[in-house]
Amino acid sequence: MDKGNCSINFMTLIKEDPTATRENFGASFTPIFLQDIIPSIDKEFRTLTDRDNRAMAGLSWGGHQTFEIALRNLDKFSYIGSFSGALFLGEDQIDKAYDGVFADSKAFNKRVHTLFIGIGSEEGMGAKDLGKALQKRGINNIYYESPGTAHEWLTWRRCLKEFLPNLFR
């Protein structure tokens, strides 16, 4: 478990484009994760290193980073989870998102064994809309809504409880 190279709070400076700021926040994490963390885990622990035996999940901005990393590296991951993820994706952007990974639903569904999107019922993020939009395009996903919770640990613990049984089956 890593902090995703996000040690400081997200802030947009005066005259700075919020979209660019968001894209740069923790952006250096992808190479750290792929080139340092995964090899370190594989060296230190007895792991199965193929994509069918590798999962990635994250909460909040970590959910965003999970989608950024895992969906662009399906040669390494086949189980993907976002818990209250900062997913900035409108329905009209789905086909081009993450290098076009959702453009071919049959190919995606064959490669990704679990795509999990979880959120608290009191959060205002568009996770539910994203899950529905993906389903409408034929992309298999599991949408989970934690009842009565917001952007908090109880939501994320419940998401983890729902996500884990879907791994490595």
Residue type at 52 in one-letter notation: D
The pTM of this model reads 0.85
CA distances to 73, 101, 132 from 106, in Å: 17, 11, 17
Residue 130, Cβ neighbours under 10 Å: how many? 25
Measure the CA–CA gap between 16 and 28, rounded to whole angstroms. 19
* Structure token digits, residue 37: 């963390």
In tens digits, the chain (169 residues) has pLDDT values of: 544 444 455 555 566 665 555 555 556 778 888 999 999 999 999 999 999 999 999 998 889 899 999 999 999 999 999 999 888 788 888 889 999 999 999 999 999 999 999 999 999 777 888 999 999 999 999 999 999 999 999 999 999 999 999 999 8
Residue ranges of domains in the chain, CATH in brackets:
18-166 (3.40.50.1820)
**142 — alpha (psi -120 to 50), left (phi > 0) or beta?**
beta
